[in-house]
Structures are given as C-alpha cells and as structure tokens.
Structure 1
C-alpha cells in the first residue's frame, strides 16, 4: 500500500515538474541519440518529438561508440535482423548490434527506425550514454574513447566522479554499484528521477 501511495504522489508531482521543464525549454526539435531509453524518457517529459531512431532500444557502449565514430557510414546501412533468443528483435547495422527491447516485431522495429532516421537533424544534435554495460559496467578506456568523440553536445552519466573527463556527469546514488542503476526510478517522494540531477533543459538551451 505504501508503495502505491508513493507512486501516486510521485506521478502527480511529475506532472508539475514536466510543466516547469517545458516552460523553460527554448530549443525545440533537437535530435537526441541515446545508447538506451534515457533519451526517450527526457524527450517524453519535455513533450518533444522523437527525431532519432534511438528510442526504446539499447546498444552496448562499445557498439554505441563505434556508431558515433563513423555515424555517416552507419546511417547509410540497411537495418537487418538476426536470430534472437530474446523476446524482442535484435537488429544489425553492418557490424553493430541493436537491441529493440520494447518492440513486438521486426517489422515494427524497422518501420520506426526508418521513419525516425529521416528526422535526424545534425545541426541540433545531442548525444547521451551511461556507464552501464553488463554486470561489470563500462571500462574506463571506453569512457575516454567517448570523451574524445568530436561532438559538441555529449554527456555520459557515471556512477562516480571522473573530473578528468569533460563529458562525464556524476549521478549520485549508485556509488556502491559498478555502474549507473535505474535512472528512470523516482528517487524520493518529490516526483524527481535520478536523471533529473542533470539539467538537460539548460543543456538543450545553451545555443538558443
């Protein structure tokens, strides 16, 4: 019962928070390329369209970085699908594997990928990754590799501080783990989620 009350309180508070976030947002129609669902959650909170195919899916940090290192090449590749023991489709762009974990069929995944790929705006581009990858988390070398990528607007959410990495943003609350945990969970009774520690509205607005 207590958990149900907490959820109801948080959902009510969240509506108010989202209203405030949307009123602050000046930059609209941005393309968010995210290694997992955090980008889609943020866009949903802001009431923004999905101008990127990276929605309701995830890539390993290694594959995500590989995509970003040669983004023009991968955007030109046809999305294929491979045999999957999961209960969702697994796609491939050349040598990159994409897990469409919130899609019911290959057809749905392909249609959404193609439609949203056509909306990508390279002039209003934002990149999001987390230090999450399996049980052991991401290697520091991969964080360094991400940090070197030639994108102006990029961030990687980490479970501990990395002051030497310009793109790293420390999310508090996961220090005892090997990686960032559930960013989408409410962090208390105030309607805030863990990713709210990062002021993404200010990040989107910086060039507006």
Structure 2
C-alpha cells in the first residue's frame, strides 16, 4: 500500500516538474543517442520527439562505443535480425548487436529503426551512456574510450566520481553497487528521478 501511495504522489508531482522543465527548454528537436532507455525517458518528460532510433532498446557499452566511433558506417548498414533465446527481437548492424527489449517483433523494431534513423540531426546531437553493464558494471577502459569520442555533447552517468573523465557525471545513490541502477526511477517522495541530478535542460540549451 505504501509503495502505491508513493508512486501516486510522485506521479502527481512529476507533472509539475515536467511542466517546469519544458518551460526552460529552448533547444527543440535534438537528436539523443542513448545506449539504453534513459534518453527516451528524458525526451518523454520534455515532450520532445524521438529523433533517433535509440529508443526502447539496449546496446552493451562496447557495442555502443563502436557504433559511435564509426557512426556513418553503421547507419548505412542494413538492420538484420537473428534467432535468439530472448523474449524480444535481437538485431545486428554488421558486427553490432542491438537488443530491442520493448518491441513485439522484428518487423516493428525495424520499422521504428528506419523511421527514426531518418530524423537524426548531426548538428543537434547529444550522446548518453551509463556505467551499467551486466552484473559487474562497465570496464574502466570503456569509460576512457567513451570520454575520448569526438562529440561535443556527451555524458556517461556513473555510480561513483571519475574527476579525470570530462564526460562522467556522478549520480548519487548507487555507491554500494557496481553500477548505476534505473535512473528513471523516482529517488524519493518529491517526484524527482535519479537522472534529475544532471541538469539536462541546461545541457540541451547550450548549443
């Protein structure tokens, strides 16, 4: 019962928070490329369209970084689907595996991928990743590789500080874990989510 009350309170307060966030946002129609669902949740809160195929899916950090290192090449590859024991479609772009966790079938996943790929705006591009990867979290070498990517607007959310990495942003609340948890979850009773620790509206507005 208490959890239901907390959820209801948070959802009510979230509507007010989202209204404030949207009123501050000046840069619209940005393309957010995110390794997991965090980017889509943020865009949904802001009432922004999905101008990227990276929605409701997941890539391992290594695959995500490889994609970003050769983004033009991978966007020209045909998305194919392979047999999988997963309950959702698993696609491949050349040698990169993409998990479409929230899609019913391969046809739906491919249609959304193609439609949203056509909306990518390289002049209004923002990159997001987290240090979440399986049970042990991301390897430090992958954090370094991400930090070295030649994109102006990129951030990786981490469970502990990495002051030596310019793109790392420490999210408080997961210090006893090996990685961040679900950043789109409510962190308290005030309608705020874990990713709200990062001022993404100011980040989007800076271009």
TM-score range, shorter chain: over 0.9
Matches within 5 A, 1:41-190: 41-190=41-190
Name the CA distance, whole Å, in 1 between partners of 2:87 and 2:142: 29
Q: CA offset at residue 184 of structure 1?
A: 1.3
Name the CA distance, whole Å, in 2 between partners of 1:182 and 1:71: 27
Which contiguous aligned blocks of 4+ residues in structure 1 show a shift greater than 3 angstroms?
none
Q: 2:7 is matched with which residue? A: 7
Structure 1 runs not aligned, ≥5 long = none
Q: CA offset at residue 119 of structure 1?
A: 0.2
Name the CA distance, whole Å, in 2 between partners of 1:3 and 1:129: 29
Q: CA deviation digits over 1:168-190, x for unaligned, max 9?
A: 00000000000011111100000
Q: CA deviation digits over 1:94-142, x for unaligned, max 9?
A: 0000000000000000000000000000000000000010001001010
Tell me the SS of whatever aligns to 1:123.
coil
The number of residues matched between the two structures is 207
Q: CA deviation digits over 1:3-27, x for unaligned, max 9?
A: 1111000000000000000000000
Tell me the SS of whatever aligns to 1:23.
helix
Q: CA deviation digits over 1:14-53, x for unaligned, max 9?
A: 0000000000000000000000000000000000000000
Alpha carbon RMSD of aligned pairs, Å?
A: 0.4
Name the CA distance, whole Å, in 1 between partners of 2:187 and 2:33: 25
Q: CA deviation digits over 1:48-95, x for unaligned, max 9?
A: 000000000000000000000000000000000011111100000000
Structure 2 runs not aligned, ≥5 long = none
When normalised by structure 2's length, the TM-score is 1.00
Name the CA distance, whole Å, in 2 between partners of 1:187 and 1:131: 18
Matches within 5 A, 1:11-50: 11-50=11-50
Q: 1:195 is matched with which residue? A: 195
When normalised by structure 1's length, the TM-score is 0.99
Name the CA distance, whole Å, in 2 between partners of 1:189 and 1:137: 28
